[in-house]
Amino acid sequence: MANKYGIVRLDRVSGTPDGRLKAKVDLENGQFVVQDEVNGELKLPTSVADRVVLVASVCHQYESMNEGDFINKAGSNLKPRTYEKIAGDIFTATTIGYTGGTSPRSDFNSIQVGDQGHVQSSGKLVFYAAADTTAYLTVEVIGKTKLNGDNAVQVKIVK
């Protein structure tokens, strides 16, 4: 089953949701974004060192019961819910990138438990044998599964 958009499951997240800022671009649940407080927007990161937050909104939709059909639309009055990173938090996401950085894992099957990941400019997590030490956010793969039929990784926030 191929869902249109990303799905995230907050397995053990200690942060509280923040829903003050509007999406500058369409955002999938499970993506990471930068909070631009000055302009009141959420936007995609431009560097692995950017301070990012996790998008994990409640799926407000009426046409479909499938979480994978939901996206946080740019400019919508429904502001995306975001969560600050806290070391030790665990979540599962289908929003996985396979390009960027040096020697990323090229497909889902090549991702291994213990791999490290960080956020690329797409806002998606990309996985490596070892993560970039300059990254603001580093996660470790602790499991692989499926959400709504799509491949997903369960990760723990390391830094």
Alpha-carbon distance of 73 to 91, in angstroms, equals 22
For 30-89, the pLDDT digits (tens) are 999 999 999 999 999 999 999 999 999 988 766 777 888 889 999 888 899 999 999 999
Whether 101 contacts 48, CB under 8 Å = yes
User: Which residue in 158, 140, 151, 125 sits closest to 45, CA to CA?
Assistant: 125
- For the chain, the maximum distance between any two Cα atoms, rounded to a whole number of angstroms, is 43
What pLDDT is attached to residue 78? 84
What pLDDT is attached to residue 45? 96
Alpha-carbon distance of 11 to 135, in angstroms, equals 23
Mean pLDDT on 23-34: 95
Q: What is the pTM for the complete model shown?
A: 0.91
